[in-house]
Chain A
Amino acid sequence: MTAMAGRIEVDFPTALANAKRGDEAAWRDLFQIISGRVVGFLVVRGMRDPEDVAGEVFADVVRSIKRFHGDRRDFLAWTLTIAHRRMVDAVRSSVRRPEDPTPADQLDGRDPVDVEDAALGLVGAERARLLLERLTPEQADVLALRIYGELTLPEIARRLDKPLTAVTSLQHRGLEALRRHLEAEGPLSSE
């Protein structure tokens, strides 16, 4: 069906079960589901080294897969929760290590650089990053987790340790701002 043309067709329960047994092909299926989402999330949130952080996320997923139970959406949400935590960790550690040339504010303040390099070819995500930079970091977190991880609002509230009302409000305002910017600038891929 056309509406699902972009979906990745993976028999998720089978892939999950096999991956838990260490089946290599099954792992490739699982990573097909999440790899682009994780990198896209990290790009959109302005990580300087999305590849490095993504590698850590994937390693976490492999280490912890036996504790995971759920469907495809849950898997996505779970993985992106890990990605969010890894992102926060990466920012903190870069703050702690001043010899790192990366400025401390890279979450939302990365310099504009070559799009191909910066976004690993994710042109839309790169554009989205520039848009989300105009929101507050918290709004951007909520939107990015919803877009890439398909987390529910209660899940985001737990992850960010905020009341649901606060998260709801963050989303609402973030979306309104996003829409204003989008309407002012045209569709995502018009550049």
Chain B
Amino acid sequence: MSPDAVTEFIRVLREEADGADFRTLSGPAIPATTPGVLARWRTRLATAAAAGVTAVAAFGGLAYAADDAAPGALLYGIDRAFEGIGIGNGGEHERLEEAVALAKHGDPALGLEHAAGVTGDPAAQAALIEAAERIMVREQNQVGEQTQTRVQVAELLQYMAQNAGAVDGPTVADLARSIGGEPSGPPDGTPAGPPDGVPAGPPDSTPGGPGDTAPGASGDTPAGSNGGQGAGGDPPQGSGANPHGGPR
């Protein structure tokens, strides 16, 4: 497998940024930092380190994630959503299989996000992503009915997989909107009927991602992705935008 160019791009940029050290720019803000020559040297050292990382990522980027075997595992360590937006190496079918696998492995929200990219229909994408957000919120709040949610996700992904290449955006949007919201009957006109025996995610299968023990996993937890609660206070000098507004 070769890393997708965009994924690699993002990885390099993040590694570079994380390897750099610009804390001295906070000089007046922080009670005390190490100013002057020493700090500048530190910045330069960090820069050199970042350049090393860049080179490594470019020429041996796979080493970074090569030992992550599970489909979608790469997502956990890099960015849950970015990779899932349809710019992958694999074709649409492969991506949807990955999405199904993610859902089965106990992360239906990520599965939905992962699936969002295969449709070029913005409304369908948005509905998928919103469904994923709802699931995250529910799981965060320990709201029940997770089993039903997972069945719904599995059905949706199954539909998409069966219709790979000709996924109908409005249908996907409809299905996605029924997920994780108010309990309601199954959507009408469920297309290409997902059979009863859909592979609903076995609840006991542990998430396959490397995020379990990894540092920085906080960014990967469902809790982190709902801006409404997580973003805490309004950023300073809030200029209008309502940070807790609804998702649309």
A residues sitting closer than 8 Å to B (CB atoms) are 1-9, 12, 22, 24, 27-28, 31-32, 35-40, 44, 51, 54-55, 58-64, 66-74, 76-78, 81-82, 85, 120-125, 128, 146-148, 150-155, 157-159, 161, 163-166, 168-169, 171-172, 175-176, 178-179, 182-183, 187-190
A40 CA to B26 CA, complexed, in Å: 15
Q: Is the CB of B13 within 8 A of A124?
A: yes
Interface string of B11-26 (1 = CB under 8 A from A): 0111111111111011
Tier of interface size on chain B:
35 or more
Name 20 extra pairs, CB < 8 A, besides A35-B25, A40-B16, A172-B86: A3-B73, A3-B74, A6-B15, A24-B30, A39-B20, A60-B236, A67-B234, A69-B233, A71-B218, A73-B218, A73-B225, A78-B231, A120-B22, A122-B47, A124-B54, A146-B81, A153-B129, A168-B122, A172-B85, A190-B58
Nearest-Cβ distance from residue A69 to partner chain B, whole angstroms: 4
Judge whether B225 and A152 touch: CB under 8 Å.
yes
* Given A158-B243, A158-B245: A72 in contact with B216 (beta carbons within 8 A): yes
Q: Is the CB of A55 within 8 A of B20?
A: no
Q: Which residue of A lies closest to B228 (CB)?
A: A154
Whether B31 and A54, one on each chain, are in contact in the complex, defined by CB atoms closer than 8 angstroms, is: no
Partner of A70, one of B66, B82, B231: B231
Q: Determine if A59 and B28 form an interchain contact, defined as CB atoms under 8 angstroms apart.
A: yes
List of B residues within 8 angstroms of A146 by Cβ: 79, 81-82
